[in-house]
Amino acid sequence: MRLGRTDKSVGDLQILPDEDVLRCCASGDQQALRELTRRYQAPIFRFLYRMSGSREDAEEAAMDVFTKAWQHAGRFQYRAKVSTWLYRIAANLARDAHSRKMARPQEAWPDERQLERGSLGSAETDALNTLEREDQARQIREAIDQLNESDRMLIVLYYLEERDYEEMQAITGVSYTVLKTRLARARQRLKAKLEDGYKRTVP
Amino acid sequence: MNCRDLEKNSAAWLQGRRPELAESIAEHTGKCSRCALLLREEKALLESLAPLRAEPTAPDLWPDLYERIRTTTPHRAATRPWYAFALTGAVAAALAFVSLRPQEPVRELTLAPEDEVRIVRMAADVLPAPDPADDAGYEGMRATRSARQAILIGYAGDGE
Ligand SMILES: [Zn+2]
């Protein structure tokens, strides 16, 4: 690929902090966008997948996140972390997608078996029987899917994506007190949904 | 550690991200039953969520993304919003007007507060609502301020 005069080499970019990579994006450096995508495509895709339950939708939305980042890089104020900004864009897209989905007939969460082989991670989960694990994961997915969109976003960001309070506040745009209250409520609702699910499977 | 510190850090500690907090968390939950309950609830929830951590592998977005930005997505630097051109035009016209009166001594124009308010409102009217993609929504405020400055310069001439 032919690089512009201002484009940095891939090696240069890899050692730069996120902020400088974004500054290069703002100047039109496509290799910088490639580097930003390399750093954040996995967490952003995962977040969007957890919000939508659809690999295809998550992939499309993740593309939109990085397209928006490319378009708006020059307007970033460097007050928030770059990762927070990307999550914020993703959260807005997830909300929009959710509103559109609500207008369509409900789709069930995909069966975990539809996920790619070899995608399973930690030692803990590997130790479990595959079927049992898929069953458990499906139950939890169903419970999360039954939450309202706002509760689901908080649970996914905080407990699965491991964003801290400050980032959560920047991504969702609410104060500490409001966030604390909503998170507690989301936790209680998820707990109730999970208990319902277990009651149904263990009569 | 106080209750607020615990609320903010308990999940991170349970997820193994803040191991150094073990002692202070144990100390606080030893004397605060509310936080001890929160910690138990979060621990149970994280254990429930563990199977979901079997993550789907992320696709490599770059080939398609590169194609998209190369073929369809103009970079921001090349696409200024229409109002930027409108404001630039207004400022240029005002400056041209001021510079076409060479005999008139340059004067400092001070605006009455109500005029300034009116101009800022005018500027706010032509600006779009803050873009949700902007970090923490500050861009709208900044844009309004820039527009205000641009219009004030246009109104008063450059003064120098
Ligand atoms: Zn406490």
Q: What is the CATH number of domain A121-203?
A: 1.10.10.10
Test B65 with A66 for CB contact under 8 angstroms.
yes
- Does residue B149 form part of some domain? yes
Q: Is residue B60 part of a domain?
A: no
Res B86: pLDDT: 56
Range of the domain at B29: 3-52
Closest Cα of chain A to B114: distance in Å? 30
Determine the distance in angstroms separating the CA of B147 from the nearest CA of chain A, rounded to an integer.
15
DSSP labels for A136-153? Answer: HHHHHHHHHHHS-HHHHH
Which of B44, B61, B77 is closest, CB to CB, to A37?
Answer: B61
pLDDT, averaged across chain A? 83
Domain assignment of residue B129, yes or no: yes
- Number of domains forming the structure of chain B: 2
Write the CB contacts of A96 (distance below 8 Å, at least 6 apart in sequence): none
Give me the pLDDT at residue B61, please: 96
Please name the residue of chain A whose CA is at the shortest distance from the CA of residue B74: A71
Q: How far is the CA of B27 from the centre of ligand 1 (A)?
A: 10
Closest to B42 measured CA to CA, from B25, B27, B55: B25
Is this prediction's pTM over 0.90? Answer: no
B99-117 pLDDT, tens digit per residue, is: 555 544 444 455 566 665 5
- Identify which of B53, B55, B69 has the shortest CB distance to residue A67: B69
Half-sphere exposure of A190 (CA within 13 A, CB side): 28
- Which residues have CB less than 5 Å away from ligand 1 (the ion)? B 3, 32, 35
Q: What is the CATH number of domain A7-102?
A: 1.10.1740.10
Report the residue from B45, B52, B55 with minimal CB separation from A187.
B45
Judged against a pLDDT cut of 60, whether residue B8 lies above it is answered with: yes
Domain ranges of chain A: 7-102, 121-203
Is B96 part of any domain?
no
Predicted complex ipTM: 0.75
